[in-house]
C-alpha cells in the first residue's frame, strides 16, 4: 500500500467526494469530517513512513500516461513537499470540522474534497504536466467556493481570481513546453519529468527566458507585487473556509513551485534575477504592509498581511542557500498555519456579526476573552514572535538572504516593524477599548466547534516554534540536495559564487552538534 500511498492520498478525497453525492444532506458534515480525518491520518502515516535521512524523492510512483509525448504520471515526495501535503490535509480536516452552517453545505464539502485532491496532487506531482493539471484544476473548486458562498462581490472576485491565475499559468505552460522541447533537442526524447529536467543544463540565455515564463505563472499565484490584486478580493469575498485554504495551501503552490522548478532548473537565471525579485519581494513586504494598515476590513488586513509574508518567503527562496530556502519552506508551513488560523478567527466574528469592518467592533476583549487570547497568540505569531512558528521561518529566510545582500535584507527586515504596526492597530481596534457597539455586548465566546479548529492550530503554532526540528530536519536534507544540484548545474561564475557548495561536511557537522 505504501507504494501507492501518494495516489491514494490524491484520489481518495476525490473518490469520497463523488461518493458524497449519495450522502444525505444532514450527515454530510460528519461524512466530510470523517473522510478528511482519514486523509489526514494517511498523510500522517506518510510522514511516519518517511525516511528523514534521505534527501531525494520517496514513495515514487510511475505510470505511463502519454509516453509518446513524454507525459507520465510520476509522483513522489521529499522533505520540501511532505509537510505542505500534511498541512493541506490538515487544513481540509479542520476546515470541514469547523465549518459554520451555510447553504448547500453538501456541495461545499464535496468541493472541498475535490480541492484537497488538487492540492495534494500539486505537491506530489513530479511530472510537469501532471503538476500543471492539478495546478489548474485547483482553481475550479476555489472558484466555486468563492463564487457560491462568498460576499456581495463574490462573482467579480472569483472570476478575477480564476482568470488572473489562469493567465499566469498559461504563460508558464508555454515555458514548460519549451523546456520539454529543449529536453527533446538535447536527448531526442520527449519528457516532462521534473527529475529528468534536473539533469539538463541550459545555456544562460535560455534560462533567462524560461525563468521569466515560469516566473509569470508562479508570481501571480504567490501573489507577488504587482500581481497581487486578485488576492484581497478573493480573500475579502471568500467564505471563511475558502480564505483559510487559499491562504494556507493554495498560495504555497507558487512558492513551492519556485523551489521545485525555478531554482534547480535555472540556477544561473535565478542568480541573475535574484536582485530584481528580491526588490519586488521587498516592495511586497513593505507596500502591502502599509496597505494593510489602511484597511477598514479585518479580513483585508489579514489578506494583505498574507501578501506581505509571502514576500518574506520569496526572499528566503531567493537567498539560494540552505538556510534561506529551508527557512522559506518552513515559513510556508508557518504562514499556512498562522494565516489559516487568522482567517478562521475572522470567520468567528463574521459568523456572529456578519460584518468584518473593524469600526463595527471594539472592546471585544471584554466580551470574548478566549477569542481575544487566541487571536492575540496568532497575532503574535503573525508578527514573528520568537517561539512561535512564524519566527523560525522568518528568521531563517532573512538570515539566508543576508548572505546575498545586506542592504536589501535590512529593507526586508522592516517587515517586522510594519507587520507589527498593522497587526497591533487592527487588534487594538477590535479588541481594546470599551464596547461601544451594543450589538457586540452579548456576543458568545468561541464555541466548541470553533475551538476544535483553533486549539490544534495554537498548539502547532507554539510547538513548532519551540521545536521545529521534526519539520526542519527533513526539509533541510532535501534543500541541501537542491542547493547542491544548483551549485553543480550553475554555469556562470557568479552563480557558482552565489550558490554555496553544500558538501557532505556540513551535514556531518550538524550531526555532530546534535550528538553533543
Partner 1 sequence: MEKYLYIALFAPLVSSLFAALFTTTPKKKFVGIVASLLIFTAFVSSSILLTHILGTGEIVHLELMTWMATGNLYIPFGFVVDQISVTMMMVVTLVSTIVHIYAIGYMDHDSGFNRFFSYLSAFVFSMMILVMSDNFAGLFIGWEGVGLCSWLLIGFWFHKESATWAANEAFIMNRIADLGMLIGIFLVYWNTGTLQYDGAFAAFANLDHATLTWIGIFLFIGAMGKSAQFPLHTWLADAMEGPTPVSALIHAATMVTAGVYLVVRSNELYALIPNVGLFIASLGAFVAIFAATMALVNRDIKRVIAYSTLSQLGYMFAAAGLGAYWVALFHLMAHAFFKALLFLGAGNVMHAMHDELDPFKMGALGKTMKGTMIMMTLASVALAGIFPLAGFFSKDLILEVAFVDHHFIIYTVLLLTAGLTAFYSFRIIALIFHGEDRHTALGHHPHEAYKFMLIAMSPLLILAIIAGFTMKMPYFEMVTELLPATEYHIHSHLTYWIMTIGTQAFVILSIFFAYKKYMSSAIKIPDGTSKMENSFAYKLLINQYYIPYAYEEYLVKPYKELSTVLWEKVDQKVVDASVDGIAHIFYNTGKNTRHMQSGNLSTMLKWMVAGTVALLSLAVVFGLAARYSGEITTILSGLGV
Partner 2 sequence: MLSPVNVSLESLNLITLAPMLIPVIGALLILVIDIIKGGLDKSLYVVLSILFLALDFGALLESAGVFSKEGIMLGVFDVMLIDGLAIISQFIIVVTSMLFIPLALTNKRFHEFSYPEFFALFLFMIAGFQFMVASDNLILIFVGLETASLALYTLIAMHNRDKSFEAAVKYFTMGALAAGFYSFGSMVFYALTGSIEINQIAAVLEANNYADIGFVLVGVVMMLGSFGFKLSVVPFHTWTPDVYEGSSAAMAGYMSIVPKIAAFVVAMRLFEFLIHAHIVWLEVVLYALVVITMTAANMWAIVQTDVKRMLAYSSISHAGFVMAAILIGTTQSNSALFLYWILFSFTNLGAFSMLWISRQKELPGYQKTDHSFEKFSGMIKTSPMAAIIMGLFMLSLAGLPPFALFWGKIYMISSAVTGGYTVLALIMALNSAIAGYYYLKLIVFMFMKDPIESNVDNNGQLYVANATTALKTIIGFAIIGTVFAFVALDSLLEFVTAFVYNSGY
Site for partner 2, rule CB under 8 A: 64-69, 104, 107, 129, 132-133, 136-137, 139-140, 143-144, 147-148, 154-155, 158-159, 162-163, 166-167, 170-171, 173-174, 177-178, 180-181, 184
Half-sphere exposure of 490 (CA within 13 A, CB side): 23
Segment interacting with partner 1 (CB under 8 A) among 134-142, 192-200, 344-352, 366-374: 366-374
Q: Considering only residues 465-504, where is the footprint of partner 1 by CB under 8 A?
A: 466-469, 472-473, 475-476, 479-480, 502
**In this structure, what DSSP letter does residue 359 have?**
G
- Interatomic CA distance for residues 367 and 25, integer angstroms: 34
- Residue 434, all three cell numbers: 470599551
Q: For partner 1, which is the closer residue by CB, 2 or 497?
A: 497
# residues near partner 1 by CB under 8 A: 73
Among 7, 373, 437, 447, binds partner 1 (CB under 8 A): 373
Strand partners, 332: none
> What is the pairing mode between strands 71-77 and 58-66?
antiparallel
| 421 binds partner 1 per the rule CB under 8 A | yes
Q: Are 346 and 309 in contact (CB under 8 A)?
A: no
**Long-range pairs for 137-141: beta carbons < 8 A, 24 or more residues apart:** 138/250, 138/253, 139/165, 139/166, 140/114, 141/111, 141/112, 141/114, 141/115
Q: For partner 2, which is the closer residue by CB, 38 or 177?
A: 177
| 212 binds partner 1 per the rule CB under 8 A | no
Among 127, 268, 323, 450, binds partner 1 (CB under 8 A): 323
Q: For partner 2, which is the closer residue by CB, 106 or 496?
A: 106
**Long-range pairs for 55-62: beta carbons < 8 A, 24 or more residues apart:** 55/79, 55/477, 55/478, 55/480, 55/481, 56/478, 56/481, 57/126, 57/195, 59/2, 59/3, 59/5, 59/6, 60/126, 61/3, 61/4, 61/6, 61/7
The interface partner of residue 65, options being partner 1, partner 2, none and the CB cut-off 5 to 8 Å by kind, is: partner 2
Least separation in angstroms between residue 181's CB and partner 2 is: 5
In sequence order, the 6+-apart residues with CB closer than 8 A to the CB of 509 are none
Report which of 126, 144, 110 is spatially closest to residue 17, judged by C-alpha positions: 110
Specify the 3-state DSSP secondary structure of 60.
strand
The interface partner of residue 147, options being partner 1, partner 2, none and the CB cut-off 5 to 8 Å by kind, is: partner 2
Least separation in angstroms between residue 450's CB and partner 1 is: 16
Among 65, 177, 357, 420, binds partner 1 (CB under 8 A): 420
Q: Considering only residues 428-467, where is the footprint of partner 1 by CB under 8 A?
A: 428, 431-434, 466-467
Among 229, 359, 488, 508, binds partner 1 (CB under 8 A): 229
- Interatomic CA distance for residues 319 and 478, integer angstroms: 16
Q: Considering only residues 123-182, where is the footprint of partner 1 by CB under 8 A?
A: 160, 163-164
Least separation in angstroms between residue 125's CB and partner 2 is: 11
Amino acid at each position: 500500500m505504501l507504494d501507492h500511498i501518494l495516489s491514494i492520498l490524491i484520489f481518495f478525497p476525490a473518490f469520497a467526494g463523488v461518493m458524497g453525492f449519495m450522502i444525505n444532506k444532514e450527515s454530510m458534515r460528519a461524512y466530510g469530517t470523517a473522510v478528511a480525518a482519514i486523509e489526514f491520518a494517511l498523510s500522517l502515516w506518510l510522514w511516519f513512513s518517511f525516511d528523514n535521512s534521505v534527501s531525494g524523492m520517496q514513495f515514487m510512483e510511475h505510470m505511463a500516461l502519454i509516453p509518446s509525448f513524454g507525459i507520465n504520471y510520476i509522483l513522489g515526495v521529499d522533505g520540501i513537499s511532505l509537510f505542505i501535503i500534511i498541512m493541506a490535509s490538515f487544513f481540509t480536516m479542520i476546515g470541514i470540522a469547523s465549518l459554520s452552517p451555510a447553504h448547500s453545505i453538501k456541495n461545499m464539502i464535496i468541493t472541498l474534497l475535490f480541492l484537497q485532491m488538487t492540492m495534494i496532487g500539486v505537491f506530489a506531482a513530479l511530472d510537469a504536466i501532471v503538476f500543471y493539471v492539478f495546478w489548474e484544476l485547483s482553481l475550479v473548486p476555489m472558484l466555486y467556493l468563492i463564487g457560491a458562498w462568498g460576499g456581495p462581490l463574490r462573482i467579480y472576485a472569483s472570476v478575477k481570481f480564476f482568470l488572473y491565475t489562469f493567465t499566469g499559468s498559461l504563460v508558464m505552460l508555454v515555458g514548460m513546453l519549451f523546456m520539454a522541447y529543449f529536453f527533446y533537442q538535447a536527448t531526442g526524447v520527449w519528457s516532462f519529468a521534473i527529475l529528468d529536467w534536473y539533469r539538463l543544463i541550459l545555456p544562460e540565455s535560455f534560462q533567462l527566458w524560461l525563468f521569466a515564463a515560469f516566473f509569470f505563472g508562479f508570481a501571480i499565484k504567490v501573489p507577488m507585487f504587482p500581481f497581487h490584486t486578485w488576492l484581497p478580493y478573493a480573500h475579502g469575498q471568500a467564505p471563511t473556509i475558502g480564505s483559510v485554504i487559499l491562504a494556507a495551501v493554495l498560495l504555497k503552490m507558487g512558492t513551492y513551485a519556485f523551489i521545485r522548478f525555478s531554482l534547480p532548473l535555472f540556477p544561473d537565471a535565478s542568480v541573475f534575477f535574484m536582485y530584481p525579485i528580491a526588490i519586488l519581494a521587498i516592495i511586497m513586504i513593505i507596500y502591502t504592509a502599509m496597505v494593510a494598515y489602511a484597511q477598514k476590513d479585518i479580513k483585508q488586513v489579514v489578506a494583505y498581511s498574507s501578501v506581505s509574508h509571502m514576500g518574506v518567503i520569496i526572499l528566503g527562496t531567493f537567498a539560494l542557500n540552505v538556510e534561506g530556502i529551508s527557512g522559506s519552506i518552513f515559513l510556508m508551513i508557518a504562514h499556512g498555519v498562522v494565516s489559516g488560523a487568522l482567517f478562521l478567527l475572522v470567520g468567528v466574528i463574521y459568523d456572529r456579526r456578519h460584518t468584518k469592518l473593524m469600526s463595527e467592533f471594539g472592546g471585544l476583549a471584554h466580551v470574548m476573552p478566549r477569542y481575544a487570547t487566541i487571536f492575540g497568540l496568532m497575532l503574535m505569531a503573525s508578527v514573528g514572535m520568537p517561539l512561535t512558528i512564524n519566527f523560525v521561518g522568518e528568521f531563517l529566510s532573512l538570515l539566508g538572504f543576508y548572505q546575498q545582500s545586506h542592504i536589501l535584507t535590512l529593507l526586508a527586515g522592516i517587515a517586522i516593524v510594519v507587520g507589527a504596526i498593522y497587526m497591533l492597530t487592527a487588534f487594538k481596534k477590535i479588541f481594546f477599548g470599551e464596547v461601544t457597539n451594543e450589538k457586540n455586548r452579548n456576543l458568545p465566546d468561541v464555541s466548541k466547534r470553533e475551538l476544535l479548529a483553533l486549539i490544534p492550530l495554537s498548539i502547532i503554532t507554539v510547538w513548532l516554534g519551540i521545536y521545529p526540528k521534526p519539520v526542519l530536519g527533513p526539509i533541510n536534507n532535501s534543500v541541501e540536495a537542491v542547493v547542491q544540484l544548483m551549485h553543480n548545474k550553475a554555469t556562470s561564475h557568479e552563480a557558482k559564487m552565489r550558490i554555496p557548495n553544500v558538501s557532505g561536511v556540513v551535514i556531518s557537522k550538524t550531526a555532530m552538534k546534535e550528538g553533543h
